Copies of this chain bind each other. A is one copy, B any other.
Amino acid sequence: MTRYQYLANLLAERIEQGLYRHGEKLPSVRTLSQEHGVSISTVQQAYQTLENLQLIAAQPRSGYFVAPRKAQPPVPAMSSPVQRPVEITQWDEVNTLLADHHDKSLIAFGSGAPDVSQATLKPLWRELSRLVQHNPCAVLGYDELPGRKDLREQIARIMLDSETVVVAEDVVVTNGCHSALAIALLAVCKPGDIVAVESPCYYGTMQMLRGFDIKAIEIPTDPQTGISIEALELALEQWPIKGVILVPNCNNPLGFIMPDARKRAVLSLAQRHDIVIFEDDIYGELAREYPRPRTIKSWDIDGRVLLCSSFTKSIAPGLHVGWIVPGRYRDRVLHMKYATSSTSVPAMQMAVAAFIRDGHYHRHLRRMRQIYQHNMEDWTCRVRQYFPCDICVTRPQGSFMLWIELPEMVDMVCVAKQLCRLKIQVAPGSLFSATGKYRNCLRINCALPLNDKNQEALRLMGEAVSIALE
């Protein structure tokens, strides 16, 4: 973090905590410069940042004042999906969204891509390039079925950060988190089975269920604490559910981190009803809190949690390196890995293993957490500014996704089509429900900085929504 960012954060916190009240005059530039031992221009840059975020306002010739608070929009309420097993729809819509990602002329607010432009990724290139030149045989040859040992060792090491104690032998490398989930599902479920999911739920997971002819039952989910344990319990009593898919850390799309007590509650519920937990930790490393939140797997004593993850969000999608910790399902998982994909690309595994081993991974993560936190604040602020008043917005505890709930009457599927003509792509909420609910919601990707182009697109989005409201 640069000095001015540090200072801006500090001041923003003080405003948030009420140490400076709304309408109150802030210390002069000179005073702050002396107090913090920084240059005048650093203070000016910090004040400029806060002004851009509309936290403070400059009054000509009298200095900076805390802006009158525009009320934080409320967080959406607990969801209330259809509570019976259903077949999943929406494939055509998801397919269109995926195809759109590659239209370079679109601004892709609908994508799930992280920022891959940071210099902290450079050692990864260098390593890849070095490997190709110096170890062509390993790069060109077949990999082991469970994945390269050097990588599995590094994965076991970083999993300690979430208090998840595993060894290399417990890890099975996959081509990403998506294929990790696919393998885990195929290892445990049969067509016709029922699996519980959070609602809203990442559309990729749902389309996978559809592909494997598995029915989904959507469970009410709170945007701040996660899946409703009570509703899940009720569903377990009513239906022969095989397992539950959870994204407990920096949930996609809601951004919550389940509190530890609720993680343990859902695990003991799973134990009582003898079901499996598919835990998707793909965003866990991008949590704001330090140390990063624990996984449900970290309390798993009888191997019923299949932890799935990847480096797609924490490093880059193009790697396609993910993994499963399959617990008691290791044999089935290995067989299903072989059946669906045989082995994985050695070069990418080797590069990631070296990237972690040499400390570059943790350095990169630290940087990305900061950047995403900063960007999320910026974007949230602008959403408040450009969107109509009566919206709800999530308060993500990490990662880079924002979920916005608009008044019932707004049909984001229609609005999305209009925006597409303006070369702006968004993910309408209906993709995140098996039955196409949440048509009045949208998810936007806030990974990249709010430059002029993005800001203008966001403004146009707010405008389109306002028109839809009229």
Contacts and interface: CB of A to CB of B under 8 A. Distances in A.
A268 interface: no
Nearest to A177: B342
Contacts of A213: 190
Nearest to A351: B132
Contacts of A176: 341-342
A133 interface: yes
Interface in A121-143: 121, 125, 128-129, 132-133, 136-143
Contacts of A139: 318
A373 to B, nearest CB: 22
B338 A207 contact: yes
A204 to B, nearest CB: 7
Contact of A145 (B99, B132, B145, B334): B99
A133 B318 CA distance: 14
A418 interface: no
A336 B133 contact: no
A86 B336 CA distance: 19
B101 A211 contact: no
A338 B204 contact: yes
Interface string A196-212: 00000000100110111
A144 B102 contact: yes
A341 B145 contact: no
Contacts of A204: 338, 342
Contacts of A212: 339
A178 interface: yes
Q: Of residues A116, A140, A213, A339, which shows the largest number of chain B Cβ atoms within 10 Å of its Cβ?
A: A339
A212 to B, nearest CB: 6
A317 interface: yes
A250 interface: no
B142 A101 contact: yes
Given A116-B137, A211-B339, A341-B341, A142 B111 contact: yes
A348 interface: yes
Contacts of A318: 138-143, 345-347
A299 interface: no
A265 interface: no
A295 interface: no
| Size class of the A contact interface (CB-based, 8 Å) | 35 or more
Nearest to A211: B339
A341 B175 contact: yes
Nearest to A112: B142
A128 B137 contact: no
Contacts of A137: 116-117
A317 B132 contact: no
Contact of A129 (B113, B132, B343, B344): B132
Contact of A344 (B320, B346, B347): B320
Contacts of A128: 128-129, 132, 347
A329 interface: no
B125 A207 contact: no
B338 A98 contact: yes
A34 interface: no
B99 A182 contact: no
A197 to B, nearest CB: 15
Contact of A211 (B121, B319, B320, B338): B338
A95 interface: yes
Nearest to A145: B98
Contacts of A341: 175-176, 178-179, 182, 340-341
Nearest to A102: B144
12 contacts: A99-B145, A111-B142, A132-B132, A140-B317, A140-B319, A175-B175, A176-B341, A182-B340, A190-B213, A191-B191, A208-B338, A347-B348
Given A98-B144, A175-B341, A182-B341, 11 more contacts: A98-B145, A116-B140, A121-B136, A132-B132, A140-B318, A178-B342, A190-B213, A212-B339, A318-B346, A320-B344, A340-B341
